[in-house]
Amino acid sequence: MPDTAPMSFETKRVRTLPALREAITGLRSSGATIGFVPTMGALHDGHLALVRHAKSLCDKVVVSIFVNPLQFAPTEDLDRYPRDEAGDVARLQSVGCDLVYLPTVDVLYPENFVSRIEMKGPALGLETDFRPQFFSGVATVVSKLFHQVRPDVAVFGEKDFQQLAVVRALVRDFDMGIDIVGLPTIRESDGLALSSRNAYLTPEERAIAPKLHQALKAIRDGGSIEDAKAELTRAGFAQIDYIALRDAETLGDITPDTRSRRLLAALWLGKTRLIDNIAA
């Protein structure tokens, strides 16, 4: 399948729930399967890889762009999170996305909205220790988007590995019948995981950032987590939230029954929080 859409192809945009439902009905009218990629916008090549993969699995692809306030604490970067709707839609059109859903806050959380999903299991620890509101916000918005779009398949990046595990648990527990597909992390040539928040890095910080991936590989190859933390601190990382080795399936502690392991990390470089993970 080609990586670019035909010149005559046009990605449709919708902003309201009635318009989305009408568009989804149209996409399904010929029996087409629907792949879905939920995003917060500021799209990069990692997002486009998710769309391409969804296209390889399904007849039609829907992408949502919504900066979800429920997953941001009052001290976090909701207001300054990068936004570029025109650029995002152009990128999506270039890879053949069929429909872009661009809801506003009042569409997803209308007046008198009072529900929120609380997750346990893979949502406990790691990110939750530092962003306790995060996975409740993720689970709530993803559940709403899944019910609105009604996809057959949804594709997520493994860079947000704990989030992927939480979404899989959500879909399993609520019998949503959606196939959740994880795509390996897309990286720059120097190993830095692609992220919308990389735009916050100064040139000096950008030169340091790949050391996170290097440190994870060093641990995987036999080095200690403590030595890696010390090296990252010397390199200029201001704060290490966590570097942890976990069961890749449950995200719990390693046990004799563990079949695969995942090394996960979150660190601050200047004012930017970077996360990464690798199989270990």
Q: Which residues are catalytic?
A: 47
Cα(101)–Cα(107) distance, integer angstroms: 11
Cα(181)–Cα(47) distance, integer angstroms: 14
- The packing angle between helices 45-57 and 85-94, to 10°, is 40
Token digits of residue 209:
């950032």
Question: Cα angle at 146 between 145 and 148, to 5 degrees?
Answer: 65
**Could you tell me which residues come within 8 angstroms of residue 186 by beta carbon, excluding any fewer than 6 positions away?**
45, 46, 49, 157, 159, 193, 194
Calculate the alpha carbon distances from 97 to 27, 48, 170, 183, 253 in Å: 12, 9, 26, 17, 39
Long-range contacts of 202-209 (CB under 8 A, 24+ apart): 202/270, 205/236, 205/269, 205/270, 205/272, 208/235, 208/236, 208/237, 208/269, 209/269, 209/274
Cα(2)–Cα(54) distance, integer angstroms: 13
The answer to whether 117 touches 139, Cβ cutoff 8 Å, is yes
